[in-house]
Chain A
Amino acid sequence: EVQLVESAGGLVQPGGSLRVSCAASGFSFNIYAMNWVRQAPGKGLEWVSSISGSDKRTYYADSVKGRFTISRDNSRNTLYLHMTRLRVEDTAIYYCAKDSETEAAAGWFDTWGQGTLVTVSS
């Protein structure tokens, strides 16, 4: 069974940093692209970033480009999102999602984690 389990989020002050992770199991993690999607309280889904399976090509939403970094450790079957210069508007549930394809920007999101809440507030 494919499973994605995000690490605990947390409360961070504006301007601070936080890294969240997503532990994957039940599939060949190193092959598939992976994604982060967020959802602000009471709002819709917003794509954050994607990373390819092998060559680790990355894509970012304009709202996070230059502040967030997506990465993966295929030896640990783990996806990361390193968030810096956090803003109040980054407050959201962050979901990791497995891609259907090996390359990012090619498929759809076939399995989602349960999400982790990141709150940016002073």
Chain B
Amino acid sequence: QSVLTQPASVSAAPGHKVTISCSGSSSNIENNYVSWYQQLPGTAPKLLIYDDHKRPSGIPDRFSGSKSGTSATLVITALQTGDEADYYCGTWDTGLSIHWVFGGGTKLTVL
């Protein structure tokens, strides 16, 4: 059971938009920056979004992040077949002890 809650799967057709949610609490999402990671099949994870909404160099603006209270959201527009991957949210949890937490991951299928 992950500390951060994500939907197990989402799907949409090429060219369409998907939204992936990440729900946490005041000890993690609400008071710490959220980052998102993309893991293509058989590869290592890659940073997609940091500081809730910023994109590293080379990440297209089809990927965007936002946060409100204890929830964060990743939006992918103009879906491509190459976007099929697992997506994870993550942040520091600074409650009783300091530790990093990941969401359980969301498998994106581009139909």
Contact = CB atoms under 8 A, between A and B. Distances in A.
Interface of A: 35, 37, 44-47, 50, 59-62, 95, 97, 100, 105-106, 108-115
A46 B101 CA distance: 8
B46 A108 contact: no
Contacts of B102: 37, 44-47
Interface of B: 2, 33, 35, 37, 39, 44-47, 50-51, 56, 86, 88, 90, 92, 94, 97-105
Given A47-B100, A47-B102, A114 B33 contact: no
The 10 lowest CB-CB distance pairs between A and B, nearest first, are A108-B35, A47-B100, A44-B105, A112-B44, A108-B50, A45-B102, A105-B98, A44-B104, A110-B47, A45-B88
Contacts of B33: 108
A38 to B, nearest CB: 11
